[in-house]
């Protein structure tokens, strides 16, 4: 309907280039705590309030002399609630037609700046956190995961780097020049779009491989100097002397073998040091298997997730399984070692759960529905 409406008034446009897009989209994303008691009427009121404030915000774009505004409240618009699959937070998506009901084009010069100004006004009214504060927090989260992703890569591959970011839930949009050479990329999360240079200079395309090399330093090989040959004088033959057998020789006690082995596991949210009994250590490494369709995880990742479950670090195991491409999913409450369960059997049960947690979530089928 919006496309048809724009085409209906296309002949009346006397200046400016042809419209390439027939609608403009916005996302309003209060936190889960801020929208905890919202009803459908509250979300509808928030949509009306947002469009009213956005229309009232004027701005003089660079190179222009006249203030520009929109008329979205007198345009076709539609709002829809979307729930984030991992956090469960609701976001309000608003799509507005580029041409209002009177046939005038909604000017979208610097619309991102005007939307940010409108968001600040809305947050002040409701006592919510300001978008700049939220944006800085999201930028830090993205930068931390970019560094963690590069650390996990045994070799540098920019496509695999992008895929690992997408598995985390980020939307990655690479930018190519006319020669199809990668020149940049953006990362989108919860309606916040960041250029690589905003996240950090070290994550720009031109610096990305150098950053990976710094995180994987090559061990320095020390050359050993050749040892000069030592000439030992030849000893004169000595007549052997028969030794008298003694019966009070001291027996050397063997050193006690360690009972546990410590493992330092990078979970994606920090390093966890855990102790695993040597009696079951071989179970994790010899029987761990890689789930199908998971190109990001390694057998070692699956074993480490199982070890975290074995010692009771369920949250850390869930975080690590999600960071290496798995669908996550914590075990049900009460899931722990049974009183009469053998350590090796419990280790195998942890491996089965780890295999399930590291299995990628099936992609939702998309199609037309009546």
Is 122 in the same domain as 143? no
- What is the greatest pairwise CA distance in the chain? 122
pTM higher than 0.75:
no
Tell me the range of 48-57, 78-87, 124-133 where mean pLDDT is highest. Answer: 48-57
d(CA 51, CA 27): 11
pLDDT tier, 226 (very low <50, low <70, confident <90, very high otherwise): low
Give per-residue burial for 114-149: e unless 16+ CB within 10 Å, then b. bbebbbbebbeeeebeebeebbeebbeebbebbbbb
pLDDT tier, 284 (very low <50, low <70, confident <90, very high otherwise): confident
Average pLDDT in the chain: 82
Task: Give, in order, the Cα–Cα distances in Å from 218 to each of 134, 210, 323.
Answer: 38, 13, 25
Q: What is the pLDDT of residue 170?
A: 86
Is 78 in the same domain as 150? no
Q: What is the 3-state secondary structure (H, E, C) of 131-150?
A: HHHHHHHHHHHHHHHHHHHH
Given the structure tokens 């005007």, which residue do they identify?
114
Q: What is the pLDDT of residue 17?
A: 67
Q: What is the pLDDT of residue 66?
A: 87
Select from 215, 247, 269 the last residue of a domain.
215
Q: What is the pLDDT of residue 250?
A: 56
Q: What is the pLDDT of residue 96?
A: 95
For residue 211 the two structure tokens come to 């950053």
Total domain count for the chain? 3
Structural domain for 167, as ranges? 133-215
Is 124 in the same domain as 150? no
Q: What is the pLDDT of residue 146?
A: 93
Mean pLDDT, residues 236-251 taken together: 58
Mean pLDDT, residues 20-37 taken together: 86
d(CA 49, CA 47): 5
Mean pLDDT, residues 108-128 taken together: 86
Taking residue 263's Cβ as centre, other Cβ atoms within 10 Å add up to 17
Q: What is the pLDDT of residue 248?
A: 54
Is pLDDT of 245 > 80?
no
Which strands, in side-by-side order, build the sheet including 192-195? 171-176, 182-189, 192-195
d(CA 347, CA 311): 10
Task: Identify whether 220 is part of a domain.
Answer: no
Is 125 in the same domain as 172? no
CATH assignment of the domain containing 69: 3.30.300
Please tell me which residue, 227 or 151, carries the higher pLDDT value.
151
User: DSSP string covering 10-37, please?
Assistant: GGG--SSPPPS-SEEEEEE---TTTTTT
8 A C-beta contact, residue 55 and residue 73: yes
Q: What is the pLDDT of residue 227?
A: 58
* 54 CB-near residues (< 8 Å, 6+ apart): 26, 70, 72, 114, 115, 118
d(CA 19, CA 167): 34
Is pLDDT of 27 > 90?
no
Q: What is the pLDDT of residue 85?
A: 66
Task: Identify whether 241 is part of a domain.
Answer: no
Q: What is the pLDDT of residue 260?
A: 79
Q: What is the pLDDT of residue 365?
A: 57
Q: What is the pLDDT of residue 242?
A: 58
Taking residue 183's Cβ as centre, other Cβ atoms within 10 Å add up to 12
pLDDT tier, 369 (very low <50, low <70, confident <90, very high otherwise): very low
Mean pLDDT, residues 140-166 taken together: 90
Task: Identify whether 238 is part of a domain.
Answer: no
DSSP class of residue 72 equals G
Residue 324: burial class (beta carbons within 10 Å; 0-12, 13-18, 19+): buried
DSSP class of residue 123 equals H
Is pLDDT of 87 > 80?
no
Q: What is the pLDDT of residue 366?
A: 53
pLDDT tier, 35 (very low <50, low <70, confident <90, very high otherwise): confident
Please tell me which residue, 132 or 144, carries the higher pLDDT value.
144
Given the structure tokens 């994550």, which residue do they identify?
203
Tell me the range of 183-187, 214-218, 246-250 where mean pLDDT is highest. Answer: 183-187
Select from 129, 161, 176 the last residue of a domain.
129
Task: Identify whether 245 is part of a domain.
Answer: no
Q: Which pLDDT tens digit goes with each residue over 180-203? A: 899 999 998 766 788 998 899 999
Select from 159, 188, 215 the last residue of a domain.
215
Is pLDDT of 306 > 70?
yes
Is 303 in the same domain as 341? yes
Given the structure tokens 């390694």, which residue do they identify?
298
DSSP class of residue 203 equals G
């Amino acid at each position: 309907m919006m496309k048809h409406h724009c085409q209906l008034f296309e002949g009346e446009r006397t200046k400016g280039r042809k419209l390439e897009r027939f609608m403009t989209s916005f996302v309003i994303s209060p936190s889960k705590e801020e929208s905890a008691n919202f009803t459908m009427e509250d979300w509808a009121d928030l949509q009306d309030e947002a469009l009213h404030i956005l229309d009232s915000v004027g701005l003089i774009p660079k190179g222009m002399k006249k203030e520009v505004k929109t008329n979205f409240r007198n345009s076709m618009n539609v709002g829809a609630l979307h729930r984030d699959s991992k956090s469960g937070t609701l976001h309000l998506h608003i799509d507005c037609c580029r041409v209002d009901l009177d046939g005038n084009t909604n000017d979208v010069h610097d619309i991102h700046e005007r939307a940010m100004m409108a968001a600040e006004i809305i947050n002040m009214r409701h006592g919510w956190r300001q978008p700049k504060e939220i944006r800085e927090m999201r930028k830090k989260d993205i930068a931390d995961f970019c560094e963690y992703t590069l650390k996990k890569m045994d070799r540098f591959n920019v496509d695999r780097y992008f895929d690992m970011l997408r598995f985390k839930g980020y939307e990655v949009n690479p930018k190519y020049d006319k020669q199809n050479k990668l020149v940049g990329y953006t990362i989108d999360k919860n309606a916040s779009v960041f250029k690589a240079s905003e996240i950090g200079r070290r994550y720009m395309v031109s610096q990305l491989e150098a950053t990976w090399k710094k995180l994987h330093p090559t061990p320095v090989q020390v050359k050993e100097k050749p040892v000069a040959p030592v000439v030992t004088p030849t000893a004169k033959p000595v007549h052997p002397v028969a030794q008298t057998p003694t019966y009070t020789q001291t027996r050397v006690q063997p050193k006690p073998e360690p009972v546990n082995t410590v493992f330092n596991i990078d979970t994606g949210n920090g390093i966890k040091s855990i102790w695993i009994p040597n009696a079951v250590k071989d179970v994790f490494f010899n029987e761990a298997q890689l789930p199908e369709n998971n190109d990001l995880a390694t057998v070692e990742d699956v074993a480490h997730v199982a070890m975290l479950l074995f010692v009771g670090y369920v949250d850390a195991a869930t975080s690590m399984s999600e960071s290496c491409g798995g669908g996550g999913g914590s075990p049900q409450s009460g899931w722990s070692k049974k009183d009469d369960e053998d350590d090796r059997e419990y280790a195998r049960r942890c491996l089965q759960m780890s295999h399930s947690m590291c299995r990628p979530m099936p992609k939702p089928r998309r199609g037309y529905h009546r």
